[in-house]
Structure 1
Amino acid sequence: MTVTVETGPWRLDPTASTVALRHRTMWGLVTVKGAFAEIGGRGEVRPDGSADGTVTLGAASLDTGNTRRDTHLRSADFFDAGNHPEITFAVRAADRLDADGVRVTGSLTVRGVTEPQTLTARLLPADADALTLETEFDVDRARFGMGWNLLGMVRGLTTVTASLRFTRAGG
């Protein structure tokens, strides 16, 4: 069954949305997990069914459950949150692939570095006033100037998992 989405403006509901990271460290022996507490965003669905929008994360809001690690992640070695307080995913196009699949094309900006990013999301059943997109994709942190790697402990890609709940704006 194809999920129908109403046209017009949509606003991200930060209380019903999550963006989390997973990365293997210690030579692949330990998985570090964390989630962003500050999430914002908006979108626009056009009459032809295509969409655009923006999702913004507070770089300093990443919580891994370890204060010392979180402080290091906010530093210039990683997110450099003091100079680059936001991580942004700007959606240039979101097009239906099938009944519940959406190809999202845009750009990811971390630490002031912008790189193209394409991902596939799943559109969960929606009503006239709310919809949820879920996705999981990998990011190479080195593309964004995060090359810190003490003794080669931090290798590989970072997995981003997001569940983004949008509600109708205005209306």
Structure 2
Amino acid sequence: MTAAVETGLWQLDTTRSVIAVSHVTMWGMVTVKGEFRGVTGEGEVHADGTVSGSVALEAASLDTKHKKRDEHLRSADFFDVERHPTLVFAVRDATYRQNGTVEVKGRLTVRGVSRPQTATVKVTESSTDSIALTTEFTVDRDQFGMGWNRLGMMRGLTTVTATLRFTRASA
């Protein structure tokens, strides 16, 4: 990846990491926002510069600050948490760019459906013991079997934003 990120094993600091989603609904008049409270992850920067790892989200932990909506999002219309409790982004490749960003290619798995997903990640902090990353990308929920759309209220893409802090894993 880059010399700025030390090789070795890295563990997601769940207390200092945030993964949120937003989606425009009601024919473009309302933006629904939510945050996943249950997040885990790990990664490895190998000696040859390659990167592997994953971030997992507990689907039932999505909090939009609206109990009835959250219950609906947990249902079979959306995340179907009883059958698919976890969403996973698995890193397959990462390429450092000269502008200080990293192009991360991976597979996003939602509701048991895996699709390629690319994200441009900004390294906002890097030391021998911690690294902080930020990213924003969009997801087409229809590709994951979440096509529920009463009266055409939910069109378009869902935006995912993440601030992830990793710390060096103990040997």
Please, what TM-score do these two structures have when normalized by structure 2? 0.97
Secondary structure of 2:56's aligned partner: strand
Secondary structure of 1:73's aligned partner: helix
Matched, 1:107 2:144: no
- Once residues 81 and 27 of structure 1 are traced to their aligned partners in structure 2, the CA distance between those partners, rounded to angstroms, is 27
Secondary structure of 2:138's aligned partner: strand
- The superposition leaves residues 11-49 of structure 1 with CA deviations (integer Å, 9 ceiling, x where unpaired) of 001000000000000011100000000000000001232
Partner of 1:62: 62
- Once residues 57 and 102 of structure 2 are traced to their aligned partners in structure 1, the CA distance between those partners, rounded to angstroms, is 21
- Once residues 22 and 121 of structure 1 are traced to their aligned partners in structure 2, the CA distance between those partners, rounded to angstroms, is 18
Task: Return 117-126 or 54-63, whichever deviates more.
Answer: 117-126
Secondary structure of 2:125's aligned partner: coil
Q: Which runs of 5+ in 2 are unaligned?
A: none
Partner of 1:96: 96
The aligned runs of 1:24-103 (5 Å cut-off) are: 24-103=24-103
Deviation of the 1:58 alpha carbon: 0.3
Give the conservation status (yes or no) of the 8 Å contact 2:107–2:116: yes
Task: Return 92-101 or 149-158, whichever deviates more.
Answer: 92-101
Secondary structure of 1:60's aligned partner: helix
Matched, 1:133 2:133: yes
Give the conservation status (yes or no) of the 8 Å contact 2:137–2:159: yes
**1:113 partner letter:** V
> What is the aligned residue count?
170
- Once residues 21 and 30 of structure 1 are traced to their aligned partners in structure 2, the CA distance between those partners, rounded to angstroms, is 14
**1:89 partner letter:** F
- Tell me which stretches of 4 or more aligned residues in structure 1 moved more than 2 Å: none
Partner of 2:150: 150
Partner of 2:14: 14
Secondary structure of 1:125's aligned partner: strand
Percent of matched pairs sharing the same residue:
58
- Once residues 98 and 48 of structure 2 are traced to their aligned partners in structure 1, the CA distance between those partners, rounded to angstroms, is 15
- Once residues 113 and 22 of structure 1 are traced to their aligned partners in structure 2, the CA distance between those partners, rounded to angstroms, is 21
